[in-house]
């Protein structure tokens, strides 16, 4: 904000009491007004103020200095002569009574001379001011009780300030303030003190000084008291703002704006009012109380200034992006002062804020209000018609708003095909054109207005504007061409409307004379445009539109003429595509099958579809595809299956972009296969499967498997079937393919493929029974190839689908085996034990085969764990003497026997015979280990040796017994043990035994009361 210093010249009575003692007093009295004015002091502040001086101050000072420059050299000479006479008078009459008056007048004249010189050179006149200061100091020193001492101090302070001695001047001002408590000099002194403090950023102290000046001023009675009050109130408003006394600032500034305040010239008045409004606005912004702000602005005294103050606040809000407050205050001002002078700026800011918060509806409302100020007959314009700068500002903003609105609604109409949007756009373009028909964009606005009428189906208004633009010689070539072409489109739209009306009346448009007449008008307009703008891109567009109209009127021959004209007129790619489409359409309508194929094939092979566009190419391909399909059906109906297949394959290969190319290719391959050409069919299947975009790979993949199977290539056929089932699980033949894959793979020994096929089959099933069947089958296959991860995975799935006790027990054992194989041995062993107990508990509820199989295997696996523990224990490798370790190993054999015995009791041929064999093998190996230890230890006592030897003999005898049991079981159940490998191994073991004294045992060592399978005296 600019700080304005008001210069109010005040007059006082002559200070000389004995004029007869003053030489040439008239020459001095003419300038008596100078010294007691406040002008010299404020002039000095032009150079040292920390604030920017306002334009009002610059204008006033310029006017004042122009007047002063008129002083003639004769006046300066007269001043110097007067000063010299005063010097002489003082020298000659140093003791006269009027000496202090003479000295005071001399000081005044010296300052005046210095001012005269300083008007032309700011550095000049210093010597005169210095002399004046000496004179003034002499008065104060010699005449301390001088009745004009206030004037002396006043002039001294002003003089010091003029030579930039601020601190010294400040001291003198304070001296003056102490003694001049009820005079104008005292008020000015407090003002000067306040200014000094204000410039030192001591606004609170400055405010106190200004208040003292105000109090003095209110008790004075002078003709220019209002000017003095205004000067002080202005400073108080500023100091209050800087002191954060916002309420005081606001109230004081409001007093400044009171009607009838004397402010001098109009230029000064405007600037003072502007600064006061800005002060109020900034204070209200800092106060940050919307209710208080609105109440203040609504005061009657501010009705002429509220919009300006609000604008100041809104600008501050906008700089801080405080959009909610902008909206609250802006809407209040617009509602309270609908014709305020600052309305254009407020609406502009309001629209910007609504845009920032993405409230497009309210933004448009603000812009619409702004736009309505633009017309020549608007009330707002009429109110401020004499304020040129205000009207100019409004026109700039309202014109921009109108253009934004017109463009917005025009664009909205184009996007949404909204008739109301086009009508609104037309009204705003009308406002723009009416405002300034000579504007550089006037023709463009007219063209947009006509287009808006065109799109809103006001064709009469649109035609009128188009025709006026065409006749206007000032229209540039671009807008002329656009108007001419839009006129063609208008005629087309008129024909379309009549065409539609004829159809609604159930008439035949191509026979309606009115429709035909409008068509001829349309053709005439298009021909006229073509002749006037032959190189225009719209020329060919017009020909295409006329061709389409003739096509719709069933005048295909006439339409073909226009399409051919397009093809020879260097059309764009899109235009060429439209013409080709039209010609092909005529061929299709003719019904000549051979002609269709010949025409379409020619275009497909010769045209550059990358330039013309793929859409038309696909359309022609679709036509060709259908024609070829019809030809193939004809051949097939005649029994020429092989020839039909060849035709389909050939077209599919020649035109890979055909929309039904994959269908044609697939059907062609099937027809070749049906015709017996399996080798060619297989080759074509591989070709199709390698194409990423082939749509019927499921059919082709199945056909490949069939082709391989018919060629006796079963392993490859199984793999092909599996791939088909995996890639196309939803295909209708996926299940059949996977069944074939599993069967053929198992027959060929490819268990991995069989397992994978079983998994895919299980996934295809809906019922639990079939899912369990195939998941169990897959898990068993994976077990066979040691793929324990997959075996465990699908075993668990099979378990979740099991329904009977037999199924659950069997699959639980399978899952436990996979856990054991994958390293979870302890968990698996626990499962084995649980399963073994569950089987025995449910013996009467399950069939014997499942009982013996599950119990036998589970118990055998437990025995295997004990066998590993037994074998791992080496009597000569363990700590302690080996004879003591024999006892520990005997105990381990007990646990081994306990596990295997349950498997033997199950009666299952495989697991019982295998358990007996491993018991015999373990006993035999233990006996051998003992004998080897006896042979290696020659220091063993004879009694101990004999006792240990008996153990060896006993275990060797047990081994023979276990082997013998296997043979006996086979003899009892030859059918169950036929081809049993463990029986054969037991026979081989028994054949290796021979009679040896070392292996004999006494009868008392093996009592008859004990079973032959139960060892005697396990421990030592």
First-to-last C-alpha distance (Å) of the chain: 117
Structural contact between residues 649 and 684, judged by C-beta atoms closer than 8 angstroms: yes
Output the pLDDT for position 265.
Answer: 56
Q: Residues 109-118: what's their mean pLDDT?
A: 83
Q: Is the pLDDT of residue 1000 over 90?
A: no
The answer to whether residues 1003 and 952 touch, using CB atoms and an 8 Å cutoff, is no
Tell me the H-state helices in 98-202.
Answer: 99-118, 126-142, 149-162, 166-179, 184-199
Query: What are 53's strand-pairing partners?
Result: 3
In this prediction, residue 312 carries a pLDDT of 93
pLDDT computed for residue 222 by the predictor: 66
Is the model's pLDDT at 671 over the cut of 80? Answer: yes
Q: Check residue 47 and give its pLDDT.
A: 37
The predicted pLDDT at position 1010 comes to: 31
Give pLDDT, residue 17: 36
Q: Is the Cα dihedral 650, 651, 656, 661 positive or negative?
A: negative
- Mean pLDDT value of segment 108-135: 81
Nearest to 193 by CA among 217, 219, 222, 167: 167
Could you read off the pLDDT of 963-985 as tens digits, one per residue? 999 999 889 988 888 888 999 99
In a 13 Å sphere around the CA of 378, the CA atoms on its Cβ side amount to: 21
Give the mean model confidence (pLDDT) for residues 887-908.
90
- pLDDT value of position 145: 86
Q: How far is CA 185 from CA 30, 159, 178, 219, 526, in A?
A: 21, 15, 11, 13, 91
The predicted pLDDT at position 600 comes to 81
Mean pLDDT, all residues of the chain: 82
Q: What is the DSSP letter of 631?
A: H
Question: What are the φ and ψ backbone dihedral angles of 340, each rounded to 5 degrees?
Answer: -65, 150
Q: Is the pLDDT of residue 315 over 90?
A: yes
pLDDT band per the 50, 70, 90 thresholds, residue 357: very high
Q: Residues 739, 777: contact at Cβ < 8 Å?
A: no
- Given a contact cutoff of 8 angstroms between Cβ atoms, the answer to whether 53 and 46 are in contact is yes
Say how far apart CA 294 and CA 284 lie, in whole Å.
10
Task: Report helix angle 126-142 to 99-118, nearest 10.
Answer: 160
Phi-psi region of 617 (alpha: psi -120 to 50; beta: other; left: phi over 0): alpha
Model confidence at 22: pLDDT above 80:
no
**Structure confidence at residue 25 (pLDDT):** 39
Does the pLDDT value for residue 998 go beyond 70?
no
Q: How far is the C-alpha of 699 from the C-alpha of 381, rounded, in Å?
A: 80
Write the CB contacts of 352 (distance below 8 Å, at least 6 apart in sequence): 318
Taking 70 as the threshold, does the pLDDT of residue 746 lie above it?
yes
Cβ atoms of residues 99 and 93 within 8 Å: yes
For the segment 421-436, the average pLDDT, to the nearest whole number, is 90
For the residues 781-803, what does the mean pLDDT come to? 87
**Does position 250 have pLDDT exceeding 80, yes or no?**
yes
C-alpha to C-alpha distance for 616 and 768, rounded to whole angstroms: 53
Candidate from 67-71, 837-841, 898-902 with smallest mean pLDDT: 67-71
Q: Residue 851, Cβ neighbours under 10 Å: how many?
A: 22
C-alpha pair distances (Å), 618 with each of 94, 372, 624, 625, 661: 123, 54, 10, 10, 11
Instruction: Label residue 72 by pLDDT band (50, 70, 90).
Output: low
What average pLDDT score do residues 852-881 get?
A: 88
Q: Give the pLDDT of residue 23.
A: 39
Residue 1001 has pLDDT above 60, yes or no: no
Top-tier CATH class for 463-590: mainly alpha
As a whole number, mean pLDDT of residues 205-227 equals 84
Mean pLDDT of 665-687: 85
Instruction: Report pLDDT for 964.
Output: 92
pLDDT classification of 43: cutoffs 50, 70, 90 = very low
Report whether 744 contacts 710 (CB < 8 A). no
Binning pLDDT at 50, 70 and 90, where does residue 471 land? confident
Q: What is the pLDDT of residue 556?
A: 86
Q: How far apart are CA 666 and CA 649, in angstroms?
A: 8
Residue 93 pLDDT: 80
d(CA 492, CA 542) in angstroms, rounded, equals: 10
- The share of the chain scoring above pLDDT 90, in percent, equals 21
What is the structure's pLDDT at 1020? 29
Answer whether 463-590 and 678-764 agree in fold.
Answer: yes
Asked if CATH classification 3.40.1410.10 holds for the domain at 678-764, the reply, yes or no, is no
Domain residue spans of the chain: 463-590, 591-676, 678-764, 765-846, 859-991
Q: With a threshold of 0.75, does the pTM exceed it?
A: no
> Is residue 28 a contact partner of residue 109, using CB atoms and an 8 Å limit?
yes
Q: Round to whole Å and give the CA distance between 201 and 188.
A: 20
* DSSP per position, 23-78: SSHHHHHTTHHHHTSSHHHHHHHHHH-SSPBPHHHHHHHHHHHHHHHT--HHHHHH
> 509: closest CA among 477, 470, 550?
550
Residue 844 or 998, more confident: 844
659: pLDDT strictly greater than 80? no
At residue 533, the pLDDT reads: 87
Name the most confidently modeled range: 94-98, 604-608, 819-823.
819-823
What integer pLDDT is reported at residue 911 of this predicted model?
92
Which band of pLDDT confidence, cut at 50, 70 and 90, is reported for residue 527? confident
Closest to 673 in 3D by CA, of 708, 703, 628: 703
């Amino acid at each position: 904000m600019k700080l304005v210093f008001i210069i109010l010249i005040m007059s006082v009575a002559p200070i000389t009491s004995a004029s007869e003692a003053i030489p040439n007093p008239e020459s001095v009295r003419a300038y008596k007004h100078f010294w007691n004015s406040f002008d010299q002091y404020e002039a000095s502040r032009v150079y040292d103020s920390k604030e920017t001086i306002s334009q009002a101050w610059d204008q006033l000072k310029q006017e004042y200095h122009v007047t002063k420059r008129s002083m003639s050299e004769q006046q300066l000479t007269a001043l110097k002569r007067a000063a010299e006479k005063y010097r002489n008078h003082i020298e000659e009459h140093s003791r006269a009574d009027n000496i202090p008056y003479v000295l005071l007048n001399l000081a005044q004249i010296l300052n005046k001379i210095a001012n005269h010189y300083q008007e032309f050179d700011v550095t000049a006149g210093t010597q005169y001011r210095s002399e004046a200061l000496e004179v003034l100091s002499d008065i104060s020193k010699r005449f301390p009780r001088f009745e004009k001492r206030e004037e002396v101090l006043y002039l001294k302070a002003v003089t010091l300030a003029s030579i930039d001695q601020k601190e010294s001047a400040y001291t003198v001002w304070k001296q003056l303030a102490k003694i001049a408590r009820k005079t104008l000099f005292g008020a000015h002194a407090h003002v000067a003190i306040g200014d000094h403090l204000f410039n030192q950023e001591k606004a609170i102290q400055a405010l106190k000084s200004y208040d003292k000046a105000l109090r003095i001023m209110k008790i004075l009675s002078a003709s220019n008291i209002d000017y003095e009050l205004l000067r002080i109130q202005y400073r108080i408003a500023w100091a209050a703002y800087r002191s954060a006394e916002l309420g005081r600032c606001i109230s004081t500034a409001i007093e400044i704006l009171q009607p009838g305040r004397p402010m001098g010239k109009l230029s000064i008045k405007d600037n003072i009012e502007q600064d006061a409004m800005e002060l109020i606005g900034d204070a209200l912004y800092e106060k940050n109380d919307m209710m208080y702000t609105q109440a203040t602005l609504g005061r009657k005294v501010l009705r002429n200034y509220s919009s300006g103050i609000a604008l100041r606040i809104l600008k501050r809000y906008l700089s801080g992006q405080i959009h909610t407050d902008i909206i609250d205050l802006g809407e209040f001002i617009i509602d309270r002062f609908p014709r305020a002078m600052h309305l254009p700026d407020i609406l502009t800011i309001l629209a910007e804020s609504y845009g920032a918060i993405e409230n497009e509806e309210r933004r448009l409302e603000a812009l619409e209000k702004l736009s309505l100020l633009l017309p020549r007959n608007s009330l707002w314009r009429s109110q401020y018609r004499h304020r040129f700068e205000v009207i100019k500002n409004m026109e700039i903003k309202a014109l921009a708003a109108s253009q934004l609105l017109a463009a917005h609604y025009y664009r909205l109409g184009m996007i949404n095909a909204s008739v109301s949007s086009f009508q609104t756009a037309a009204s705003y373009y009308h406002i723009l054109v009416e405002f300034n028909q000579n504007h550089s964009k006037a023709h463009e606005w007219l063209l947009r207005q006509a287009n808006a009428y065109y799109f809103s189906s006001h064709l009469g208004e649109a035609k009128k504007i188009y025709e006026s633009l065409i006749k206007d010689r000032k229209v540039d070539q671009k807008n002329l061409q656009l108007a001419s072409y839009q006129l063609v489109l208008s005629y087309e739209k008129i024909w379309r409307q009549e065409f539609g009306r004829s159809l609604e009346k159930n008439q035949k448009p191509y026979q309606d004379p009115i429709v035909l007449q409008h068509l001829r008008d349309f053709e005439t307009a298009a021909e006229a445009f073509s002749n006037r703008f032959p190189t225009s891109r719209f020329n060919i567009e017009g020909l295409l539109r006329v061709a389409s109209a003739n096509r719709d009127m069933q005048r295909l021959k006439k339409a073909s003429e226009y399409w051919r004209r397009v093809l020879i007129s260097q059309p764009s790619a899109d235009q060429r595509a439209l013409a080709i489409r039209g010609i092909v359409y005529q061929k299709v309508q003719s019904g000549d099958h051979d002609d269709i194929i010949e025409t379409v094939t020619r275009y497909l092979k010769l045209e550059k579809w990358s330039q013309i566009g793929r859409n038309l190419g696909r359309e022609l391909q679709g036509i060709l595809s259908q024609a070829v399909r019809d030809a193939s059906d004809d051949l097939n109906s005649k029994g020429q299956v092989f020839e039909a297949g060849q035709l389909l394959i050939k077209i599919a290969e020649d035109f890979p972009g055909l929309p039904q190319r994959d269908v044609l290719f697939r059907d062609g391959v099937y027809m070749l296969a049906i015709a017996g050409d399996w080798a060619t069919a297989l080759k074509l299947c591989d070709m199709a499967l390698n194409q990423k975009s082939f749509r019927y790979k499921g059919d082709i993949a199945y056909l490949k498997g069939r082709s391989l199977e018919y060629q006796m290539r079963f392993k490859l056929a199984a793999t092909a079937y599996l791939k088909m089932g995996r890639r196309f699980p939803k295909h209708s033949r996926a299940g059949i393919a996977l069944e074939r894959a599993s069967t053929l793979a198992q027959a060929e020994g490819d268990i991995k493929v069989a397992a994978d096929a079983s998994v895919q089959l299980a996934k295809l099933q809906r019922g639990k029974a079939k899912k369990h069947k195939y998941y169990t089958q897959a898990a068993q296959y994976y077990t066979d190839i040691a793929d324990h991860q997959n075996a465990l995975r699908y075993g668990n799935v099979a378990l979740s689908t099991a329904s009977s006790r037999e199924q659950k027990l069997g699959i639980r054992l399978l899952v436990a085996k996979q856990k054991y194989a994958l390293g979870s041995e302890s968990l698996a062993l626990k499962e084995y034990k649980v399963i073994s107990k569950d089987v025995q508990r449910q013996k009467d509820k399950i069939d014997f085969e499942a009982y013996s199989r599950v119990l036998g295997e589970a118990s055998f696996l437990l025995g295997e764990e004990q066998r590993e523990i037994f074998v791992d224990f080496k009597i000569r490798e363990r700590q302690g003497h080996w004879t003591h370790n024999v006892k520990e190993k005997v105990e381990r054999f007990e646990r081994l026997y306990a596990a295997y015995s349950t498997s033997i009791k199950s009666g299952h041929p495989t697991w019982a015979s295998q358990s007996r064999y491993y018991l015999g093998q373990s006993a035999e190996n233990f006996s051998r280990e003992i004998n080897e230890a006896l042979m290696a230890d020659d220091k063993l006592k004879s009694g101990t040796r004999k006792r240990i030897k008996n153990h060896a003999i006993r275990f060797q005898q047990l081994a023979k017994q276990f082997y013998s049991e296997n043979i006996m079981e086979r003899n009892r159940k030859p059918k169950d043990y036929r081809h049993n490998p463990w029986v054969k191994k037991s026979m081989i073991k028994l054949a290796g035994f021979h009679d040896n004294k070392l292996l004999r045992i006494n009868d008392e060592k093996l009592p008859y009361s004990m079973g032959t399978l139960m060892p005697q005296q396990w421990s030592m």
